[in-house]
Structure 1
Amino acid sequence: MKTNVRIIALTVAMCAAAGATAQTTSRTTTPAADTVLLSERVDGDYLVRTYRIQNTEDVDYSIRYRISVAKLNAALNGNTAALDELNGFVNGLMQDTTKKVRQVIITGYASPDGPAAYNAKLAMQRATDFKGYVDQKYGFSQKYAVTVNSVVDDWAMCRSAVSSSTIPDRAWVLQIIDGPQSSSAKEQMLKRNAGVWNYLAQEILPPMRRVEVMIDYDTSRIVEQRTLIQRPKPAPKPAPAQDYVVVEENVNGVIVEMPEKEFREERREMKQDERAAARIAKREAREAAKIARAQEKAAKRIAKKEAKAAKKAAKAAKKTYKDLEKM
């Protein structure tokens, strides 16, 4: 199961970092278009803003099917774990009012071995079968927009798996996969080598007979941002009049001694001001580090989203190419 999060704006991550520690100061940030300001108030030395943040996320599940079979087998090759994860997510989804499903896409796949027309029909039957499963168990079609697609993988989709495998005559197999021959011609050539075909049938082709389910949904959450209010420093107070004590008097003038109490108080105030300035500098440095970490996490999420989008675009392009070949 793969989970992808698309963060709509970097500001969201910065707001989240500010709200994680209620008593930590943060630099003022302007909310992005996907945020809604709910309230604004002053709490002591802080300006407190409350936002509602909206994100778009999706989860993917992959379910395997047996060769030439379009009926779900829950016990087949890890299907039990995948279906348990799907069940847990859906149960949580139905209880979490902050999540709103946008769409559910169910795509059936078939491996490249066998007649192309038969594989296309089989892939669609697998998608339809799994749609019936989630409709019966969860009532998906009654609650959400469910789309059913089908894809027949070609031999080129095996290349990565073959390249990293221990299949016999791997270089020869890759040469056939990369060749200009038709899908059926490539299959016949591969079948001439019994060791190669047995490896393909046991290790490479089974994972391609599957159904993939993507659930696309919106989430919303409440984030509190606390910003330290910069207040003007008060003007320094004039020094109080000093009392003088005459200790000696002669014709040349007067020698005086300043009271020790006033001198100690002045030094204590100076030290208190220095400690307060040091605490403010440390607090601002910690907040800057938190914001930097939040920006780095948001950048990674965006990179992951772009990789996911590229994968979907590749799938769509491949399907379009297959459709054009059939025309």
Structure 2
Amino acid sequence: MHIVIGDISKENKIVAPSTKCEVVYSIFNENPSLEGIVVCENDEPIGLVMRTQFFQKLSTKYGFDLFMKRTIELVMDQDLLTVDYSVPITEVSALAMNRKQENVYDYVIVTKQDRIFGIVSIRELIIKLSEIQINVARYSNPLSGLPGNILIEETLREVLTYKEFSVLYIDIDSFKFFNDTFGFSEGDELIKETANIITDIIYTTDSKPSFVGHIGGDDFIAVVPHYHHEDLCNAIISRFHQSILRYYSHEELNKGYIPAVTREGKLENVPLVTISIAVVQNKDCELITVGQISKEAAKVKSRCKTIKKSVFLTHEDMKEEIL
């Protein structure tokens, strides 16, 4: 679930830096619920006056007489937390909590193209974060902690509105044999480790808003709002290969397979676990429903499974093969 700070921002009272303190005093008195006022010059935020700090200044000895006839720029706080409306609220929350103690409860000022867009109070920010955490927990996969199918479906519907997107369907090949050979405990560990790898690669390598979900079992999904998937896929595959080394002996790693019992009850040499990534993009391809994305992914995934090593393919790769 991707919510940006602009989604919860609200319009707020603004004044010019030349506004007299007595005017600001009147505004606060006439609006008892108003926590703060943003000071702007040509719609660009340059200061903030929070009610509590403002009245504290006025309550000092001679404070009322000293400031009332003077301009607000003399008492406004210029140490602002100003963020673009497109910044995720989780990121804004971290920035807000890292402020100096005396500024922790100040407004977060939201801009768009460097112009005032609105404000978000810390109370509203905390409430929205709590809602997101409750919603994510309710619909998350209990093993990986990643968003499950309901949130995945919501995300894919939203993705269809993007100008550019890449959807990565990721699964572990030969996982059933791994599970049967090493046990469910090790199987669960591999699932969790794979989830951590994908999450780490997608959220730390990619600076743009992204999404990672757990479809179920050994199937995952990642979404990025662009077509630059190669480095992400290569990084996931590389990290996955490093992570599986501890499960196998040197001999098994050298051979590239382990003896395992098939569904038919036969003992066969089964390949070591690998990872397949089917990439679906709206590049030279009109995708207007979630079903179309899933259908394209199934085709690419099927081709990935025929390649006996970790691999990533796009539906464009499939077209080139046909040609």
TM-score, length-scaled by structure 1: 0.26
Q: Bigger relative contact order, structure 1 or 2, given CA contacts below 8 A and separation 6+? A: 1
TM-score, length-scaled by structure 2: 0.26
